[in-house]
Amino acid sequence: MTFNVDLTGQYVTLSQGGRLASRDTSNFMNGLAFLSRTVKVDEKLCICIEDCTSSWDGALRVGFTNICPQRNNIPPASIPSLRDTQGYCVVPVPEDLCRRGVELQFWMNFAGSVIVQEKGGEKYYLKAKGLNLNNPLWVFIDLYGNTSAVRLLGSRRGSRTSCPVCPIDGGTNWLTRQFERQMSEEENNYKTDTRMVKKTSSYWKPSLFLVQYANQMTVPSSKECSDLTRAGLGIPVQESRGVDLSWTWRELNRFICSRYPLVNLHFIGFLFAKADKHGRLCRLHADTLKKIKKELGDSILYIIPETDIVLNEMTAHTLSSVMNANAFSPSRSLPPVPAQQRHRLTSTNSYLSDSSQNSSMEDMDVSSLLREFQHMHLSASKHVSVLVSRNKLLQSAKDALSNCNFPWTKIPLVTFVGEQALDCGGPRREFFRILMMEVQRSLGIFEGQSGHLFFTYDQMALEEHKYELAGKLIAWSVAHGGPGLKALDPCLYQLMCTQECRLVDFDWQLIPDADIQDKLKKILSCKTMDDLHSLQREHGDWICDCGFPGIYKPEVSIQDVPKIYSYAVRHYIYLRTSNMIHQFTKGLNAYGQFWDMVRTHWVEFLPIFTHMHEPLSRSTFTALFQIHWSKAGTKKRAAEEETIHYWELVLKMIEDKKPKAPQNELHFEEILAFTTGADEVPPLGFSQKPSINFYQPEERGCRLPYANTCMMGLFLPRVVKDEVELYKMLLRAIRDSAEFGRT
């Protein structure tokens, strides 16, 4: 990853292969620099502030945009020029972070917020408005005010990295010099300990293995073990001298850290685990060395980092070089790497919520999480038949799951009653899409506006386990590549995930109960003590029931109104229906502990449980398809090119919402569902790229466009009069053929 040499401000100079951008300090602006490629959502960009000046006020700004930057259209400053332009998001970095030598990372998350963070420090959020996360994201850095030089360290998304970071003063040679200089010191540090270990009867030599991921659940494969060891993890390169069972916990931790010099385990923290007979890693809860030894037996002692360890090419290359250089010196150990260098080789202890510190969610996107879940739980070859009636689709799904031994891990082969379609993916996508809509509107456990659903307080539904059924159906759908609920209110979802939520800003109009709306409105209208006394008289008992008995205390004041409002909202949307929510999450956990994964990685799963879907744009929709042409130069090819011309005009009509009549209005989502069975790209993507194919129209009659959802192919006629005719044909085909095998 580099800066784009053609997309920089007037006073910006690029060096170090395009990774260092510097601004002439004689001017405080004209320091914009765009990156050379687009980035993905949740791709963390790492930069280092190389130089600052005290001559100017203001500091670094970073930003994202959906608009492709133009060479001759670089403004002098991002604020206000880009900030006030639709399609741009500009974030001023706090000045206290803009110090020489500080390493920062910033990224756009799936919730549509830009997050800026000093490595290991506090996070700063800014909601990005007007950006479409489905479209390409360009990144720019504004060297403004006292920030005069920034160096790109690379980017990270999940376990993938770019621009491996090398030490400024010499890469591998630097580490080799450190190795030679500190070798004797390392031996001397352990000389006394070695003699002591050999003389004591409590000597123990455990087999160690450091894994890469904080959420590692199973023993790594043989290939993974080999790769991890080459990268400085896995089995320690240097021979272990063993431990004394009388050591303190601190001495044990120091010993473990010394076995892995390229990883700053002291900084990121770690836990101990052992493997059971099924190859699952189980955490050890012993608090002394003797208890660990007893609990472990002859098994390997697995070391689980508290945050994922990010590897890069330099790590593996450096360790490999040192190993080869010392192949004939097994008694010599690798030295500890300086903290600054180790810090660059490891991930930071970062999390999107300050209330939780032990999650590795930022290092995995939702696709990676779901693939890992499928790998652990689903069968790749076994199938289960599911017979579905379109008129009773929800009941069909309920009947399928009613068996307590329902094989949810098997791939469902869906057959719609009365339809001739072999399920090669299309019927299954269609089934799960309709099922999630039915769960929302027909099960009777949700209420509220679209995209802001809350759980109903229904004791009868609770006794009938409808909330549990909903959880099972959602987990089943998502696990097999289908959609999620995509309808919960975001505040409710955060509370369900045990996250703090700022309810002071909650919109009371989203509450489905008119009486509760009036009460919340009354709370917010309190401006004077007389208003507060009126509130006590009218709704004091209800506020007490919401968990705020202080409403009757003499010291209650107007300053308590936001807290009263927050307590009332929390009670209504979450605490009041806690039994229903518990049953719902129990249903999710019935299939592979799915909810536990969601709660740990709650931000990643926001698009699965809340409504964050942006309507498909024409460019995004077009990019989904590939065209299967006939041979160039043939009459068929010429007719196909004319059809595609009209097809593009049809897409333009849809984008411009022509015709205006709602009953005649097509949407990109409808065409996608007609073609693939899914009205949006699934979290795991499509198994193959949807395609546009062609057919020869019949001489008599009119054959409408048709689709094969299993091959995800849309078939258009080679001969069509104009775009209006093609639009009408597509509209009729989609609206009149809602069933498989009848197109």
DSSP E strand stretches across 361-401? 383-388
Contacts of residue 692, defined as CB under 8 A and 6 or more positions apart, other chains included, come to: 625, 626, 627, 628, 644, 647, 713, 714, 716
Quote the distance between the C-alpha of residue 471 and its chain's center: 21
Q: Is 559 exposed, middle or buried (0-12, 13-18, 19+ CB in 10 A)?
A: exposed
Structure-token pair, residue 441: 């509107």
Which two structure tokens, joined as six digits, stand for 452? Answer: 């802001």
DSSP at 242: -
Radius of gyration of the chain (CA): 30
Compute the Cα dihedral for 260, 263, 265, 270 and give only its sign. Answer: negative
Question: What are the start-end ranges of the E strands in 147-264?
Answer: 147-157, 160-162, 203-204, 208-210, 243-244
Half-sphere exposure in the Cβ direction for 80 (13 Å, CA) = 1
Q: Residues with Cβ < 8 Å from 704, sequence gap 6 or more?
A: 729, 732, 733, 736, 737, 743
DSSP 613-677: PPPPPHHHHHHH-EE----TTSHHHHHHHHHHHHHHHHHHHHHTT-S--GGG---HHHHHHHHHS
Amino acid at 662: P
Cβ pair 65, 130 in contact under 8 A: no
SS3 annotation, 509-544: HHCCCHHHHHHHHHHHCCCCHHHHHHHHHHHHHHHH
* Cβ pair 447, 456 in contact under 8 A: yes
Beta strands in 540-613 (DSSP E): none
Of 636, 632, 666, the closest CA to residue 651 belongs to: 666
Beta-bridged to residue 34, according to DSSP, are 140
The most distant pair of C-alpha atoms in the chain lies apart, rounded to whole Å, by 99
* H or E stretch at 314: helix 313-325
Please give the structure tokens belonging to residue 75: 């403004």
Distance CA 329, CA 338 (A): 23
CB 104 within 8 A of CB 97: yes
Catalytic residues: 710
* Beta bridge mates, 115: 107, 125
